[in-house]
Amino acid sequence: MRLKENDPGAAQYGNFINYYQFHPTEARIKSLPTDVWNVNAGEDMICLDVGSNSGELTQALYEFILSNLHTVDDENKVDSLQNSQCKGSSCYFLGLELDPLLTERAKNSNRYVSSIHYHCLNFMTDDKLTVLKTYLKQHGKQKFDVIFCFSVTMWIHLNYGDEGLIKFLKDLCAWTKVLVIEPQPWKCYRAAARRLWRAKGKTFPELDALTIRHNVETEIEDILEKKCNFSKVLETTSEDWKRKIIFFRRHDS
């Protein structure tokens, strides 16, 4: 077997060096709704992007939400962006990425240093507790308004197993009111395993032990609804981006 050590598509944790060259941010952004980004008048929308890679999508999300941000007053009347700006509402993002080189690239290319902060962190470790609590406290929040998790679940699943995936989803939900998640289907698992084997001559540590397999997207939805007290409120797809992006909301929010 001839190994391809320099294969950029064989990153074990999904930390691809040039990910957005192959998956442009515009495709995802086009599939997002414009009428769901609401905050109370005078409050800011605080967002977390888990798996922010080199930051391109995080910045695109920030621009998109800021352009579509609305405020809701005490009578549940929705105001436009122009009025929400007058009332002092804005948007802030924290991007988490486990790869230090990608995190550094994100920081260096950040066009919104006062509104977007990047931190090198593996969300599966307890180190996140201090980071998230500190960030939320700075913005006067107990939870994030929205957590984004694009194409991350497969890498958690392959490296930490079924129980790791369940823990990951529960942890996400514990920190947010709304979860926007893009789970990879099983065919992506097979492709990732083939790439890793060709490049490194090894497989993912939990691949053979996984019991959540061919129906992985449905299983993730079930976990979020049955184990995390979240409800599915919206699902989007588009011509440009074939993968499902699913919105979940906490029952008590």
Q: What is the pLDDT of residue 7?
A: 52
* Domain boundary assignment for the chain: 28-250
65-78 pLDDT tens trace: 999 999 887 545 55
Q: Of 183, 165, 163, 144, which Cα lies nearest the Cα of 65? A: 144
The alpha carbon dihedral of 91, 54, 223, 234 has a sign of positive
pTM of the model: 0.90
Q: Of 132, 120, 220, which Cα lies nearest the Cα of 170? A: 220
Q: What is the pLDDT of residue 5?
A: 46
| Region label for 121, one of left (φ > 0), alpha (ψ between -120 and 50) or beta (otherwise) | beta
Q: What is the pLDDT of residue 82?
A: 46
Q: What is the pLDDT of residue 147?
A: 98
Q: Which long-range contacts (CB under 8 A, 24 or more apart) does 215-220 make?
A: 215/186, 216/153, 216/154, 216/157, 216/183, 216/184, 216/185, 216/186, 216/189, 217/183, 217/185, 217/244, 220/153, 220/165, 220/169, 220/181, 220/183
Give the CATH superfamily of 28-250: Vaccinia Virus protein VP39 (3.40.50.150)
Q: What is the pLDDT of residue 23?
A: 72
Average pLDDT value over all residues in the chain: 89
